Amino acid sequence: MISDITLGQYFPGTSILHKMDPRVKILLTVAYIVAIFLCKYVLTYALMLLFTAWLVLASGISFKTILRSLRPIVIILIITALINVLFTGGEGEPLFVLWKIRVYEAGLWRALFMALRVVMLVAAGSLFLTYTTSPIALTDAIEALLSPLRLIRVPVHEFAMMMTIALRFIPILIEEAEKIMNAQKSRGADLSTGGPVKRIKGLVPIIVPLFISAFQRAMDLATAMECRCYRGGKGRTKLRRYRVGWRDLVMVLLMTGVTLGIVLGNRHLPALVGWGYSL
Amino acid sequence: MNILELKNISYTYGRGTPFMVKALDGVSVGFERGKITGLIGHTGSGKSTLVQMLNGLLKPDSGQVLLDGRDIWEKPKEIRSVRFRVGLVMQYPEYQLFDDTVEADIGYALRNMGKSPDEIARRVRDAAAFVGIGEDLLSKSPFDLSGGQKRRVAIAGVLAMEPEVLVLDEPAAGLDPRGRKEILGGLCRYRDTHGATVILVSHSMEDMATYCVRVVVMSDARLFAEGKTGEVFARARELASVGLDTPRVSHIAEALIAAGVPLTGELYTVEGLERAFLAAMRGEGKQ
């Protein structure tokens, strides 16, 4: 049913990733992405992969769930890999020739690197942000990080509030839609057979009540907010105050260490090991 | 004779996710033909899930739902015909209204059944009469009605199917006492004229005592008790242990018995207690 759609993919938990300051998490995500693109040598990729694997373990989220989050990008992965394998030029002898296309060792390496990059990007995004940060914490953090924009009169708080409300309403509306569908099915609504015109017409008894209740809810919420004297962000304090703690420090240090390792590894390891492909 | 029977039904929400909840755990219960059966239970006891099993909105993970002795999931493609026979009125059903006029909205199920326009017109009027919606309201928009009227129209939308079994989840919740009486009275009249079976979910023990012959009690996804209304309410202590109360009259009866008044009979309705009390007084007068 609809509720199976993993929209709010947040998995509540108590891991170090869950307990981090969401603001630091967003900044770390950016750092992580930069680190991915710094990787140039096979062993530095391995280091990054190792770090990612550790993050998954630390988050307490199963590898299966992470792999499932990769499912939508499988096709993109395959296409990028293929293009890299087939169209990377190289020096020396090609590994083999497919019709007129020469495949070089460099192409295989590149394909592997690109695929790893995409996989790590998606895994990190879901690990740091969607899986371990509640939507509310996320919007709070975005508001905090964007707050300098207030100086140039961007209504940051209002945007964040709209985002929070929208996110909060998603599960409510899903539940509402399910309830209405059940009520109409109980009156013999047939939602799964017939041609496209019949199906669209069949949706009217669901969409009309859904809209009406959404508007009603919006109005009720506005009244409730006014009753509690809401008047925008000015002078407003927060229920949840985020503080940078030791966990954040540990993660920042780790991330810095990994990034340094990658930069130094890119420069020195190839000569030291004398093996492997370097971009 | 049971018209509807659940056999060893289990159901779990969100199987395989961190949010897994067992809503029904091996529930077996039968509903007698032509009777009004009450279904009570604490919030989250599995009542609403059970109700959605009865007309095939949910498919049990294991177990069977038998309607007239036949498994309703025998032919999953024909589940719609089960929904026409087992009418379900959901909780706060007024949100299901969508059509331009009250008449069209009540007739929605009938159009889905493929009835002729004449038949639809007749049944819509019949159903409206049961819930006290006058002819003058039929051409109005359902969104212009009051809350209580909306509720009546929504119930009429299910009654119009003329179901053999009528299942209602808290049909009178949030209504004033007169509205309650009229709606529940209308349902009784529907049962009498159509010989229908009624299953009534309610938090009001008074409604249970007044309208239901049998009561089914759910607790913690399981069947807790089942039996004649009087027998179930006689187990007041056990009911209290699962967060349920007995009708307020029965508390008065208990206090009277404790004070030495010898009461016997149906002590869970005002009328029953009155009869018992008068009988006891006469008994004392003779001595």
Per-residue model confidence (pLDDT) at position A5: 42
Q: For A193-210, what is the mean pLDDT?
A: 86
Measured between CB atoms, which of A187, A204, A209 is closest to B109?
A: A187
Task: State which residues form the domain around A71.
Answer: 2-133+243-273
Contact between B216 and B232 (Cβ < 8 Å): no
Mean pLDDT is lowest, of A182-186, A188-192, B148-152, for A188-192
Taking CA–CA distances from B79, the nearest residue in chain A reads: A188
Name chain A contacts of B18, Cβ cutoff 8 Å.
11-12
In-domain check, residue A261: yes
Q: What angle do CA A229, A233, A235 make, to 5 degrees?
A: 80
- The pLDDT assigned to A7 comes to 44
Query: Between A and B, how many CB-CB pairs are < 8 A?
Result: 59
pLDDT in tens, B11-50: 998 877 767 889 999 999 999 999 999 999 888 888 989 9
Q: d(Cα A188, Cα B79) in Å, to the nearest integer?
A: 9
Of residues B247 and B155, which shows the higher confidence score? B155
- What is the gyration radius of the CA atoms in chain A, in angstroms? 25
pLDDT digits (tens, 9 = 90+) for B66-120: 999 899 998 888 888 999 999 999 999 999 999 999 999 999 999 999 999 999 9
Nearest to A188 among B93, B98, B109 (CB): B109
Hey, what are B14's tokens?
A: 């969100």
Helix, strand, coil shares of chain A, percent, nearest 5, are 75, 5, 25
Chain B (203-242) residues lying within 8 Å, Cβ to Cβ, of chain A: none
In a domain, A60, yes or no: yes
User: Span A2-21, mean pLDDT?
Assistant: 70
With CB atoms and an 8 Å threshold, state whether B80 touches A209: no
Chain A CB contacts of B98 below 8 Å: 204-206, 208-209
Q: Report yes or no: B113 at the A interface, CB cutoff 8 Å.
A: yes
Count helices and strands in chain A by DSSP H and E runs? 10, 2
Give B160→chain A minimum CA distance, Å.
Answer: 10
Please classify residue B271 by burial: count the beta carbons closer than 10 Å to its beta carbon, then call 0-12 exposed, 13-18 middle and 19+ buried.
exposed
User: Cα(B221)–Cα(B23) distance, rounded to whole angstroms?
Assistant: 5
User: Would you say the ipTM is above 0.85?
Assistant: yes
CA distance A48 to B243: 55
Question: Is B158 exposed, middle or buried, given 0-12, 13-18 or 19+ CB atoms closer than 10 A?
Answer: buried
The answer, as to whether pTM is greater than 0.90, is no
B197 in contact with A, Cβ within 8 Å:
no
The pLDDT of residue B285 = 62
Provide the residue type at B168 as one letter: L
Determine the angle formed by the axes of helices A22-38 and A42-59, rounding to 10 degrees.
Answer: 160
Q: Which of residues 136-195 of A touch B (CB under 8 A)?
A: 176, 179-180, 182-190
Would you say residue A235 lies in a domain?
no
Give the pLDDT confidence score for residue B126 in this predicted structure.
Answer: 93
Q: At what angle are helices A22-38 and A105-124 packed, to 10 degrees?
A: 180
Residue A179 lies inside a defined structural domain of this protein = no
Q: Which 3-state string (H, E, C) describes A94-154?
A: CCEEECCEEECHHHHHHHHHHHHHHHHHHHHHHHHHHHCCCHHHHHHHHHHHHHHHHHHCC
pLDDT given at position B102: 95
B192: left (phi over 0), alpha (psi -120 to 50) or beta: alpha
How confident is the model over A227-246, as pLDDT tens digits?
Answer: 998 887 777 787 778 888 89
Is A233 inside a domain boundary? Answer: no
Quick check: is A174 in a domain? no
Please tell me if residue B109 touches chain A, with a CB cutoff of 8 Å: yes
Residue A155 lies in a domain: no
Q: Going by DSSP bridges, is the β-strand pair B197-201/B36-41 parallel, antiparallel, or unpaired?
A: parallel
- Count of the separate structural domains present in chain A: 1
The whole-chain average pLDDT of chain B stands at: 89
Mean pLDDT score, A17-37:
91
Q: Report the alpha-carbon distance of residue A256 to residue A251 in Å, rounded.
A: 8
Among B104, B119, B107, B100, smallest CA distance to B158 is for: B107
Q: Is residue A84 part of a domain?
A: yes
* Interface contact A205-B52, CB threshold 8 A: no
Mean pLDDT of A23-38: 92
> What is the rounded average pLDDT of the residues A69-95?
81
Lookup: tokens for A210: 């859904």
